Amino acid sequence: MKKGNLLLQIKESFREDSKFKIFLFSVLITGLSYGLYKGMLDNFLAEIVGMGEMDRGVTEFFRELPGILLVFILAAFFMLSAETLYKAGAVIMLIGMAMHAVLPATKVLATLAICMYSLGEHIQLGMKNTLSLQYAKAGHGGSALGAQTAMTQIGTLAGYLVIVFVFSIFTKNQPYSVFFTMAAVLAGISAVLSFRITGKSETDENKRRFYFHKKYTKYYMLEMFYGARKQVFFTFGPYVLILFYGANAATISLLHAVSAVACFFASPIVGRIIDKLGYKIVMITDTLILVIVCFFYGFAHHIFPTKVAFFVCCVNYILDSIISLASMAANVYVQDLADNQDEVKATISTGVSINHVITIFIALFGGWIWHTLGIELLFILSAVLGLCNSAYAATIKGKRK
């Protein structure tokens, strides 16, 4: 998206009497802080903290835990406005990032810092969408959400590229502590900005409750399969490149950056494919492609020389990021079954919670499989989960409306 187009979209989408400028600036700074953090986190855990594959699975368990607890947290603090919760999330993220910057790099403390940051991140995530819709002009909710997402992506991408540039220069004594401090300072700036956001916007009630209905049973199952297979790549994809192929922080951050750009351009294309071919075909096809991706990720080192195998795995990591966009098809499926928009929101929110429940156990189980049985079996498992997803998706009915 061109800068001029984005600025025009922001101007046309948000109400002038709202605090949208401060809000979007806060979102941008948070994205920049996250890009620095995410760009170096896996290498920090492997190189400085000394986490192996099993340890990484345990850490991911605690990182995902706030996602499960979120619905209960929002229910407990239902009396607070979206602005207040957004501020609380910013402060908690700051605490988590500051812990990385000042605490000793031990496995327990690093895991605690990750869990703290994740809690704030999850609280803020839902509030960002709520505030975007509250500050939007009538009939411009979608554009407002798109503008907010674009600001997040721009900030995150900038953070990735900073890590690529700096860690390419400092190949020895890489400055992890310096950049955790920078990320914490940025998180602090974002938190200060968030306290200038005033208002009493109500939180989305659908995010504070579980919604189960028989007609959505297949959607819940699809979310289970998707959450399981997604977690394998999200947690262990970069770690394979680091531990198995020796990828440094600059390489991993560049991979994140390329994936982000690829998804930015591929997202509208995937959306059009879903509209044209239907959600059922897309849900079946994307997981069949995943089988090929998993095969090469788990067995490339048996087929190619090490450098070629590393390149093949990098390409497949990016490809997995792109095909993960097909998860939008499940949301369209819910929309087709739902009787109203509130039902859509509540069902998707419940699906996300189910997704999180599965991912925390896959993180633990996946770390154990890699540690005891090897990466080949880990990615065979991911491929099998993909096939189960395709087989289950094949049983759903076509478009109803």
Per-residue pLDDT, averaged over 358-374, amounts to 88
CB 350 within 8 A of CB 223: no
- Residue 204 confidence (pLDDT): 57
- Would you place residue 388 in the very low, low, confident or very high pLDDT band (cuts 50, 70, 90)? confident
- Residue 3 confidence (pLDDT): 54
- Would you place residue 164 in the very low, low, confident or very high pLDDT band (cuts 50, 70, 90)? very high
pLDDT at 203 over 70: no
Whole-number Å distance between alpha carbons of 235 and 247: 15
307, 313, 314, 318: CA torsion to nearest 10: 160
CATH superfamily label, 1-209: MFS general substrate transporter like domains (1.20.1250.20)
User: 211-245 in b/e burial notation, b at 16+ Cβ within 10 A?
Assistant: beeeebebbbbbbbbbbbbbbbbbbbbbbbbbbbb
Tokens 């896959």, residue?
362
Classify residue 30 by burial, with Cβ atoms within 10 Å: 0-12, 13-18, 19+: buried
- Residue 118 confidence (pLDDT): 94
The 3-state DSSP class for residue 136 equals strand
Which residues are CB-neighbours of 104 under 8 A, at least 6 positions away?
Answer: none
CA nearest 235: which of 180, 328, 317? 317
CA nearest 38: which of 127, 162, 147, 174? 162
Tokens 């800068």, residue?
3
- Residue 340 confidence (pLDDT): 74
Whole-number Å distance between alpha carbons of 219 and 392: 10
- Would you place residue 311 in the very low, low, confident or very high pLDDT band (cuts 50, 70, 90)? very high
238-281 pLDDT per residue, tens: 999 999 999 999 999 999 999 989 888 887 788 888 888 888 88
39-75 pLDDT per residue, tens: 999 999 999 999 999 999 999 999 988 888 887 887 7
Q: How many CB atoms lie within 10 A of CB 269?
A: 11
- Residue 25 confidence (pLDDT): 93
Tokens 């910057």, residue?
101
Could you state, in order of their start, the residue ranges of all structural domains in the chain?
1-209, 213-401
pLDDT at 1 over 70: no
> Tokens for 292?
């090929």
Per-residue pLDDT, averaged over 308-313, amounts to 95
Position with higher pLDDT, 7 vs 27: 27
Do 1-209 and 213-401 come out as alike in CATH topology?
yes
Whole-number Å distance between alpha carbons of 336 and 95: 41
CA nearest 237: which of 305, 168, 296, 308? 296
- Residue 201 confidence (pLDDT): 63
pTM: 0.87
Strand partners, 14: 136
Classify residue 92 by burial, with Cβ atoms within 10 Å: 0-12, 13-18, 19+: buried
CA distances from 296 to 75, 97, 317 (A): 44, 35, 10
Per-residue pLDDT, averaged over 175-199, amounts to 92
- Would you place residue 15 in the very low, low, confident or very high pLDDT band (cuts 50, 70, 90)? confident
- Residue 17 confidence (pLDDT): 78
- Residue 399 confidence (pLDDT): 61
pLDDT at 157 over 60: yes
257, 182, 180, 43: CA torsion to nearest 10: 30
- Residue 354 confidence (pLDDT): 81
Percent of the chain with pLDDT over 70: 94
Mean pLDDT of the chain: 86
Q: Which architecture, in CATH terms, is 213-401?
A: Up-down Bundle (1.20)
CB 136 within 8 A of CB 23: no
pLDDT at 400 over 70: no
- Residue 188 confidence (pLDDT): 96
Strand partners, 136: 14
